[in-house]
Every structure is written in C-alpha cells, then in structure tokens.
Amino acid sequence: MNWHEFQRIFNDCELDGDKIVIKSKLHEVIRFVTQNYTYRILEEIIAIDKGNGETELIYHLYSFEDEEDLFISIIVKDKAESIVDIFESAIADENEIYDLFGIQFTGNENLKRLYMPQDWQGFPLRKDYVQDDTRLAWNDDNEA
C-alpha cells in the first residue's frame, strides 16, 4: 500500500517495523484500507496485554492480489470500536478477545463467554490474572 498517501489522510499515525500504529479512528482506518486498497481478508485480530491496563490490538489484513500483509496496531484501554460491519469474521475474533482479555467492542452485540464457563471470573490472558481459582482445586484437602 501507499504509506505516504495513508499518512497524509490519517496524520496521527506512525510506522513501526512493518506495522502501522494508529492512535484513534480504528473503524475509519479499516474501512479506508479495504475500500482503497485490495485488502479483502481480515486474517485475524491479535491482542497483547501491555500492562498498565493497556491492550494492543493488531489487525492483520491480507491482499491476495498483491500478496501483501498489512498490520494495523492500536492501543486500547477496555473499549474498542467493533468492525463487524466491515468484516463478518471479526465476530469470531472480537468474541475471543472479549473472553480472554475482557475488551468490550462497541457495536458487536454478540459478545459472550466463549471458551471459559459463563460464570467465570476474570480474563485469563491478562497479565494480572491470578491463577488460584478455588474451583480448580478439586484434589485439595477440602475433600472432607
């Protein structure tokens, strides 16, 4: 893609290695790259807990016409814009991130616990998650 053109339109962004780091307007950026370039598959959304309650979301898009990957990264607190109206596959990714990181996606109605039980407390892939759930200690001395 044409990085200079992109930077002219969204001036609040920078290039870090091969990923584009944006600060805001996630939905607008994703819509822009799908409409103006050939990125037609959202391969996945990657979430990384950066500590201090900050989570990095990396949107990985692929263009098979140009055989090119595109990574768009954004730091969010506990809320992010949903992009299910652009890519339906994001339903799956956003649900997984909600389940494991506790990020709310505004605009996605389908968020629910996916892998974890419905009444599970906490979000396991966060770095501050404490692994001492009493329900897991079946074999402990509380048998009696």
By CB under 8 A, name the binding residues for other proteins: 17, 19, 40-44, 46-49, 58, 60, 64, 67, 69, 87-89, 91-92, 96, 100, 113-116, 124-125
Q: How far is CA 97 from the centre of its chain?
A: 6
CA 74/CA 122 separation, integer angstroms: 23
Buried b or exposed e, range 60-94, using 16+ CB within 10 angstroms: bbbbeeeeeebbbbbebeeebbbbbeebeebbebb
In the bound state with other proteins, the residue whose beta carbon lies nearer, of 35 and 142, is 35
Beta carbons within 10 angstroms of residue 144's beta carbon: 3
**Min separation Cβ 89 and other proteins, Å:** 4
**Min separation Cβ 79 and other proteins, Å:** 20
Taking phi over 0 as left and psi of -120 to 50 as alpha, with beta for the rest, 25 belongs to left
**Min separation Cβ 143 and other proteins, Å:** 25
Q: How far apart are the first and last CA of the chain?
A: 65
In the bound state with other proteins, the residue whose beta carbon lies nearer, of 26 and 70, is 70
In the bound state with other proteins, the residue whose beta carbon lies nearer, of 23 and 40, is 40
In the bound state with other proteins, the residue whose beta carbon lies nearer, of 132 and 143, is 132
**Min separation Cβ 126 and other proteins, Å:** 10
